[in-house]
Amino acid sequence: MSELRHNWTKKEILEIYNKPLMELLYDAATVHRKRHDPNTVQVSTLLSIKTGGCSEDCGYCPQAARYHTDIEGNDLMGVEQVKAQALRAKSSGSSRVCMGAAWRNVKDGPEFDQVLEMVRTINKLDMEVCCTLGMITENQAKRLAEAGLYAYNHNLDTSEDYYKDVISTRAFKDRLDTIENVRKSNVTVCSGGIIGMGEKLEDRAGMLVALSSLNPQPESVPINALVAVEGTPMEDIEPISIWEMVRMVATTRIVMPETQVRLSAGRTEMSREGQAMCFFAGANSIFAGDKLLTTPNPDVNEDMEMFKLLGLNPQKPFTKISQPKTVESADSQYQSLGEKPKWSRPGHTIERNEEAKQKAKLVSED
């Protein structure tokens, strides 16, 4: 059961997911204990370094410019501002800072240069640095690696089949191409998805097939529960149950035994007992802090109290992979190429996304 495989089928994964719960938990916990320290959890802090105004139409996202939400946009943060936030995160027990920018894709220029300096600064604090900046080219990935980036996040979001019902402004293949570009550097991959967007169980299995088929598999897989935000196309979707989250975590642990499985968005809706079941089932990473980019998250003090109750310890930085070296910009082997890659725009129409867009127009006109 704990064998590392890249040829899982959807049928096999569904059989695991639908096992009697106690049997599923036992199997997942057995795999987890064979590959990981069950009492250690990696703690990351997610920081929105540029919020709102994104040109994409992701049906779940309040940062899309075309929808009307209460998100306050902000321009790219300064390096010293990010450093202060990183130091605060480190003092509260986080070993990793993940910086997110609401961009469709990275564009060479002053803003990307500023992000590279942020990466250098945080790596020098002896913290793991992760970025989620949208699609990136091979050269951009190598520039991030030189700066000291530890991980790059690029979620598949859902199955390839259901993807076209969530997003119309980019293709599933763009996600895979970006992950491939990251793999051409020495940066680790963080890639997962969201459950509770109206997908079928087959889509959850399909997403795990896609992730587990990657070779190597992602070092980190975030499992998010949809946080339905007013103004987005998915605002009326009911939250999933804790049992669905537990099953998804347990199945992910079995299918990708060496990966760190991260409890991500949606934890505010989970009781401590529910989260404890997820940890037992194989989750060994969380996002800490009161916000995940723009959505609520449990307070870090609450998390540390929960860790104490459960006997869990925060993982130290660079436990899995050694700390990258930082190359200063003046010594960089890779320079800006001024690239303008042709990332795809499939152009099909998603009815609920269009309805949310029209609703936002009416609100702005009022």
| CA 146 – CA 126 distance, rounded (Å) | 15
In 3D, which of 79, 106, 80 has the Cα closest to residue 336? 106
User: Residues 91-122: pLDDT tens digits?
Assistant: 888 999 999 998 889 999 999 999 999 999 99
User: Residues 40-93: pLDDT tens digits?
Assistant: 999 999 898 988 778 888 889 888 877 777 777 788 999 999 999 999 999 888
Task: Specify if 194 maps to a domain.
Answer: yes
Q: Read off the pTM.
A: 0.92
| CA 13 – CA 6 distance, rounded (Å) | 12
Q: Confirm whether 54 is a catalytic residue.
A: yes
Handedness of CA 143, 147, 151, 156 (dihedral sign): negative
Q: Confirm whether 131 is a catalytic residue.
A: no
Task: Specify if 71 maps to a domain.
Answer: yes
Catalytic residue among 96, 98, 131, 267: 98
CATH number at residue 279: 3.20.20.70
Residues in the chain: 366
- For residue 60, the enclosing domain spans 10-316+341-365
Task: Specify if 275 maps to a domain.
Answer: yes
Domain count, the chain: 1
Catalytic residue among 120, 131, 183, 190: 190
Catalytic residue among 120, 247, 262, 267: 262
Task: Specify if 334 maps to a domain.
Answer: no
Q: Confirm whether 190 is a catalytic residue.
A: yes
| CA 56 – CA 167 distance, rounded (Å) | 8
Q: Confirm whether 247 is a catalytic residue.
A: no
User: Residues 272-288: pLDDT tens digits?
Assistant: 999 999 999 999 999 87
Task: Specify if 147 maps to a domain.
Answer: yes
Q: Confirm whether 130 is a catalytic residue.
A: yes
In the structure encoding, which two tokens stand for residue 40, read together? Answer: 């250690």
Task: Specify if 357 maps to a domain.
Answer: yes
Task: Specify if 87 maps to a domain.
Answer: yes
Q: How far apart are the first and last CA of the chain?
A: 58
